[in-house]
Amino acid sequence: MSHRRIDFSAAVSLVVANMVGTGVFTGLGFQLLSHSQAFTIMTLWFIGGIMALLGAVCYAELATRLPQDGGEYHFLSKVYHPALGFMAGFVSATVGFSAPIALAAASLGIYAHGVFDSLNPVWVGTAVISGIAAIHATNLSAGVKFQKIFTLLKVLLIGVFVVSGIYNGNTESVSFAFGEASSAEIMTAGFAINLVYVSYAYSGWNASAYLAGEIQQPEKNLNRSIIWGTLLVMLLYVLLNAVFIASAPMAEMVVDTRGAQAFQPKDVGIVSARYIFGTWGGKVMGGAICLLLVSTISAMIIAGPRVIQPMFGKIPVLKQLSVTSAKGNPVAAILFQTTLALVFLWTAAFDSIMQYIGFTLTLFTTLTVAGVIVYRLKHGKPEGYKAFGYPLSPILFIAANIWVCYFQVTDKTTESIVGLATTMAGVLFYFISTDRKQNTIQ
C-alpha cells in the first residue's frame, strides 16, 4: 500500500478543485439557449447539487468500506465483476480525466484571451497542462501543497465575486420567482439536457475516492471530504449563478450559435465581472478565473493517474504505464493522461465533448451508486459510515440519472452512441488482454 500523504484538508481541496471549474464558468451560456427564466436556471443548479450530494453520500459509504485507489475501477470490480470495473477504468483512463482536463484548459485559454487579446487560447491551455503535469510528475508533496493553495484562492475568489455581485445591485430587472413560464421550461426535454451541463459542472465530488489509498485515516476522512466538499461547492454554485444572472444581461452571456466559433463556451465570468467591477475590473477577475481553472486542471492531473496506474499494471502489454518514480509518483500514467488531454484540446469540439463526457461518466456513477445496494445485500450493513438516507438516497440518484440519460439519448444521439462505443471498447480490450486473470482485483 502506498504511503498516506493526503490529509483531510488536502482531500477536501481535491474534491472542491475537481468540481469547481469548467462547468460553472461555461454552463450558463449553453443553458440560456433554451431557458430564459432565472427560476429555471436556479432550479437546474439546485437539482444538480442535490443529485451530486445523493451520489456523494453513497460513494462515501463504498469508499469507506473499500479504501483503495482506483475509484469506479476498484468499486465496480469488487461489487460486480472485474470486467465491469475494467470498463469503468478504461473510460476514466482514456477520456474520464483527459477530456475534462482539455475542456478546463480550453476554458482557461478562452478566459485568458478575454483578458489579453493577443493570447492564443489553445497554446495557453497547452502550456498550462504541460506545466502542471511536470509539477505532479516530479513531486507529489509539492503538488499537494500547490493544490491546497490554488483551491483556497479559488474559494476566496468566488466568495469575493459573490459578495461584490450582491452589493453591486442588478443592471436589469430579474425575477427569481416561480411563474408559468418557468414551469413550462422545467417540463421540457431541454431542461433534462441542461442537467447534463450542470451534472458535468458538479462532477468531481467523488475525487477523493480515486486516492483512497493515499488518504490519512480513510475510515474517517474519506466520507467527510466527499460530503463537505460537495456541500461547499453546491452553496458556491447556487450563489455564483444567481450573481451571473442578476449582474449582466442574459443576451450577452448566451453562447454564439453562428459562424466558425459556433457553440464555443462563453466567458460568462468576464461578462458578469465587467458589469460588477467595470472594464478593467472585469479583466482582473478574468485573470483570477484563469488561476481558478489552474486548480481544476491540477486536481484532475493528480486523480486520473491513480486510476491508470493500478489498472494498466495488471495488463502485461501496458505494464509500462504503471511504472512509478522512486518517490512513488505514477510518472508514466501522468505522461499518458497528459498526451491524451493535449490531443483532445487540439482536436475536439467543446460542446460535443462535454455532452459525450457527461453521458459516459453518468453511466458509471449510476452503476457505482447502485453498487451500494448490491454490496449491502452481499455483505450486510457497514460497521462504519452509512450512506445518509439509505435506501432513498441511492434510489433517487439512480432514477434521476436514468431520466437525464433517456433525454440525452433521444436529443444527443451521436454523442450517446460514441459514449456507449467507448465503454464497449473497454470490454473488448479486457477480453482480448493477454492475461485476464491478472485483471482481477485481489
Which CATH number covers residue 267?
1.20.1740.10
Grid coordinates standing for 239? 450563489
| Residue 341 in this model has a pLDDT that exceeds 80 | yes
Residue span of the structural domain in which 233 resides: 8-439
Higher pLDDT, 143 or 397: 397
| Residue 299 in this model has a pLDDT that exceeds 50 | yes
Q: Is residue 237 part of a domain?
A: yes
Confidence of residue 374 (pLDDT cuts 50, 70, 90): very high
Q: Is residue 175 part of a domain?
A: yes
Higher pLDDT, 185 or 437: 185
| Residue 53 in this model has a pLDDT that exceeds 80 | yes
Confidence of residue 440 (pLDDT cuts 50, 70, 90): very low
Q: Is residue 342 part of a domain?
A: yes
Q: Is residue 2 part of a domain?
A: no
Q: Is residue 3 part of a domain?
A: no
Q: Is residue 389 part of a domain?
A: yes
For residue range 376-428, what is the model confidence (pLDDT) as tens digits? 999 999 887 788 889 999 999 999 989 888 888 887 788 888 888 888 888 88
- Tally of structural domains, the chain: 1
> What is the average per-residue pLDDT within 347-362?
77
> What is the average per-residue pLDDT within 327-346?
84
For residue range 173-216, what is the model confidence (pLDDT) as tens digits? 677 778 788 888 888 878 887 887 788 788 777 766 666 667 77
| Residue 437 in this model has a pLDDT that exceeds 60 | no
Confidence of residue 295 (pLDDT cuts 50, 70, 90): confident
| Residue 259 in this model has a pLDDT that exceeds 80 | no
For residue range 104-118, what is the model confidence (pLDDT) as tens digits? 898 888 888 888 888
Q: Is residue 323 part of a domain?
A: yes
| Residue 265 in this model has a pLDDT that exceeds 80 | no
**pTM to 2 decimal places:** 0.77
| Residue 314 in this model has a pLDDT that exceeds 60 | yes
* Confidence at residue 218, expressed as pLDDT on a 0 to 100 scale: 73
Q: Is residue 207 part of a domain?
A: yes
